[in-house]
Amino acid sequence: MKRLVAVLFVLLGACSTAPQRSLPPVVEGSGSGPLTPGQTVPGDTAPEPLKAPPPAPAATGGAVIALLDRADSYRASGDMSNEAAAIERALRIEPNNARLWSRLAATRLEQGQPRQAEQLALKSNALAAGDKRLQAQNWRLVARARWALDDSAGARAAEKNARALGGS
């Protein structure tokens, strides 16, 4: 009986097919439009085989930089909500980037969300091992957030941590 069940699974598995994914059309650099199957670029003798996409780290860094540029544009226009959204998208790409968490913390503080700003700055510090300058900056953010929350003792402790790390 077990053998029959195993054979059925093998047969059923062979019957299933993965969905076919089509690639976008290849466009010639001269702007003459997409190439049709079997068509070649003038001067080529045969179409080249498809190449693998670039490795993820190179694409990731570029995407994060583009999102930060967009965040800078939003900041310059005073659109804090979209600035935060762009930084959050960058964090989905690089969730362990301490500088991104710190940037989001500063944005949240400016948006009047001191409790969230404090938590984000502390998360950045947890990821910023060895980066004393960033840690000091985060402690200053924590201090500002705690002052906004009327936590004077906590704010003073955060300022003391920033000074101990060499921050003024």
Lowest mean pLDDT among 12-16, 53-57, 102-106, 112-116: 53-57
143 three-class SS: helix
Q: Would 9 be classed as within a structural domain?
A: no
80 and 133 together in one domain: no
Q: Residue 153: what residue type?
A: A
116 and 166 together in one domain: yes
Higher per-residue confidence, 60 vs 72: 72
**pLDDT 10s digits, 101-151:** 999 999 999 999 999 999 999 999 999 988 999 999 999 999 999 999 999
Q: Would 48 be classed as within a structural domain?
A: no
164 and 102 together in one domain: yes
Higher per-residue confidence, 116 vs 43: 116
Given a cut of 90, whether residue 38 has pLDDT beyond it is no
119 and 144 together in one domain: yes
Which residue among 68, 95, 122 closes a domain? Answer: 95
**pLDDT 10s digits, 79-102:** 999 999 999 999 999 999 999 999
113 and 138 together in one domain: yes
Which residue, 31, 28, 24, 33, is CA-closest to 43? 28
Q: Would 167 be classed as within a structural domain?
A: yes
Q: 109, 145 in Cβ contact below 8 A?
A: yes
91 and 155 together in one domain: no
**pLDDT 10s digits, 67-76:** 999 999 999 9
62 and 124 together in one domain: no
Q: What is the pLDDT of residue 166?
A: 82
Q: Would 25 be classed as within a structural domain?
A: no
User: Number of structural domains, the chain?
Assistant: 2
Give residue 85's domain range: 56-95
Cα(26)–Cα(131) distance, integer angstroms: 45
Given a cut of 70, whether residue 11 has pLDDT beyond it is no
135 and 75 together in one domain: no
